[in-house]
Structure 1
Amino acid sequence: MDYIKPQDVLEQMVAAGAAKAKLAVKDLLVRGFLGGAILAFATTLAFTATTQTKLGIVGSLVFPVGFVMIILLGLELVTGSFALIPLAVLEKRATVGEMLRNFTWVILGHIAGGVVYAGLFYAAVTNLGHSMDHAVVQFIVKTAEAKTNGYSALGLDGMIAVFAKALLCNWMVTLGAVMAMTSSSTWGKIAAMWLPILTFFAQGFEHAVVNMFVIPAGMMYGAHVTFGGWWLWNQIPVLLGNFAGGVLFTGILLYVTHAKKEHAGLRKQTKAA
């Protein structure tokens, strides 16, 4: 059997968080760059499927391919780390400084990866601007405007909505990272992590790394979005919501229930001895 029990998964979560916190800046940037670019590939794949079929669920079914590649290759995805590194800090196997260092450099890598892919995608599908009516390009433009101007038009309600969508999103995304740890086989990992990633994308929740591609790409392709609008009405609240969802609903709650049982079992063994 390749199934790994939850208590053992929890230990993997802490160990993974500790290892990520110790990575060199070079590795954080490179792995963050690749993670951002691969997720951008998956996003345009999903948008292609959606525009071709007119069914959003089809795009959602194929989007997890990017997450799978990132996890299996051991790359960095800051949203997944939001559940893992805080546990390492809690267990005193990493420091707050190391955690913030990871988040900062990986985010910079994600943005670079997303922007580089946006430029290459633009060159590939528009013939360097000669075919701006490409369906996916127009879809990206509309999505970028909806993810920024759409929220700003609602004021405080928009800010609350984008935060809630980000929180719900990363509850699932971090579960994807954790579910990959429930199997020791490649196919088992793929099947397990596919489920929560499909769940978040199909419902239109807000993922910070996806947005690090979609919004700057939309701006590059002609969306009426300002740099300040990108960060104020999406990127900052989405990062905060993603962090809250990952650390609270996946990291802390799994820690509370499974660490308690694990420690209780150890106490019983000690008494018996």
Structure 2
Amino acid sequence: MSYLMPSEFVTKMVDAGESKLFMATRDAFLRAFMAGGILALAAAFAVTISVQTGSPLIGALLFPVGFCMLYLLGFDLLTGVFVLTPLAWLDRRPGVTISGILKHWGVVFMGNLFGAITVAVFMAIVFTYGFSTPPDEVGVAISEMGKDRTLGYKEFGAAGMLTVFIRGVLCNWMVSLGVVGAMISTTVGGKVIAMWMPIMLFFAMGFEHSIVNMFLFPSALMMGGDFSVWDYMIWNEIPVVLGNLVGGLTLTGLTLYATHVRTGAKRALQ
């Protein structure tokens, strides 16, 4: 069958988390670098389509192409390893430690960051003809997006910080379902459909994804965005990373593991 039962694909999630933790550091970094770059290019594509059509919904409909590409190629996003690797520790897989998980997260974070920033430089060059002209229409849209999603939260203080954190939680609830979707089916078409739906939802709803933001905000800064690196880190990247961790792990990883692997005792019929 092309569809796997939940008990089967959740076991695959645990196996995948264990496998990633014992991967060579160079491989973990390279796969993360490529994932960050591909997702960044997909984000640039989605913004371009949104600007050209005047419809953000069309951009959201097409954005998942990058996510599907990178997972079909076996690359890794931090948002995905947030979900999978702790399950190997919960399942008491031999050799899996908290320190090993944190180290792997650090490697993937840096790989995603370098990949996303590389594409940010490339696209800033494209949008400004090698920094020889002001940014084009798409570049201006990215610059404004960077300002709105940093200073826009800062304006509301603690309420803004809570909002960006919750948007990060909701984002990785959906993104992690996309990661799971790659394991639900054994066919390429089935995997793509299962991944496409939640990724489209997160992008259309304007939730905050830490890796997408590693592209959008550095690119905006390169093109004269009216905010600082400090604004980006404090009012977006840090709370979004934390929100992504909480959302993916609690709302997807732990719930699936608790109900499909460590199931409760069956009730007796009265």
Residue identity matched to 2:45: L
What residue is the counterpart of 1:178 in the other structure?
A: 180
Following superposition, the deviation at residue 260 of structure 1 comes to: 3.3
Following superposition, the deviation at residue 15 of structure 1 comes to: 0.4
Cα deviation code 1:59-88 (max 9, x no counterpart): 001100111011111111010111111111
- Picking from 242, 246, 259, the partner of 2:261 is 259
Are 1:82 and 2:82 an aligned pair? Answer: yes
Moved more, 228-237 or 155-164: 228-237
Secondary structure of 1:260's aligned partner: coil
Residue identity matched to 2:142: I
What residue is the counterpart of 2:145 in the other structure?
A: 143
Q: Contact 2:127 / 2:135 at 8 angstroms: preserved in 1?
A: no
What residue is the counterpart of 1:22 in the other structure?
A: 22
What residue is the counterpart of 1:8 in the other structure?
A: 8
Mapping for residues 226-245 of structure 1, pairs under 5 Å: 226-245=228-247
What residue is the counterpart of 1:65 in the other structure?
A: 65
Tell me the distance in 1 between the aligned counterparts of 2:62 and 2:28. 27
Following superposition, the deviation at residue 230 of structure 1 comes to: 1.1
What's the % identity of the aligned pairs? 41
Are 1:48 and 2:48 an aligned pair? Answer: yes
Residue identity matched to 2:112: H
Following superposition, the deviation at residue 12 of structure 1 comes to: 0.4
Cα deviation code 1:188-220 (max 9, x no counterpart): 101111010001110000000000111111111
Normalising by the residue count of structure 1, what TM-score does the alignment of the two structures yield? 0.94
What residue is the counterpart of 1:201 in the other structure?
A: 203
Residue identity matched to 1:114: A
Mapping for residues 23-38 of structure 1, pairs under 5 Å: 23-38=23-38
Q: Structure 2 stretches of 5 or more lacking a match?
A: none
Tell me the distance in 1 between the aligned counterparts of 2:27 and 2:35. 12
Q: Contact 2:35 / 2:77 at 8 angstroms: preserved in 1?
A: yes
Tell me the distance in 2 between the aligned counterparts of 1:133 and 1:259. 51
Larger % of helix: which?
Answer: 1
Structure 1 residues 179 and 264: alpha-carbon distance in aligned structure 2, compared to 1, 3 A threshold = farther
Mapping for residues 60-139 of structure 1, pairs under 5 Å: 60-93=60-93, 94-139=96-141
Moved more, 80-89 or 238-247: 80-89
Normalising by the residue count of structure 2, what TM-score does the alignment of the two structures yield? 0.95
Following superposition, the deviation at residue 264 of structure 1 comes to: 6.2
Following superposition, the deviation at residue 180 of structure 1 comes to: 1.3
Cα deviation code 1:11-35 (max 9, x no counterpart): 0000010111111221121111111
Q: Structure 1 stretches of 5 or more lacking a match?
A: 266-273
What residue is the counterpart of 2:250 in the other structure?
A: 248
Structure 1 residues 125 and 226: alpha-carbon distance in aligned structure 2, compared to 1, 3 A threshold = closer
Tell me the distance in 2 between the aligned counterparts of 1:28 and 1:132. 37
Following superposition, the deviation at residue 125 of structure 1 comes to: 3.0
Q: Tell me how many residue pairs correspond in the alignment.
A: 264
RMSD: 1.3
Runs of 4+ in 1 over 4 A off after TM superposition: none
Following superposition, the deviation at residue 133 of structure 1 comes to: 3.9
Moved more, 159-168 or 221-230: 221-230
What residue is the counterpart of 1:164 in the other structure?
A: 166
Following superposition, the deviation at residue 137 of structure 1 comes to: 0.5
Secondary structure of 1:213's aligned partner: helix
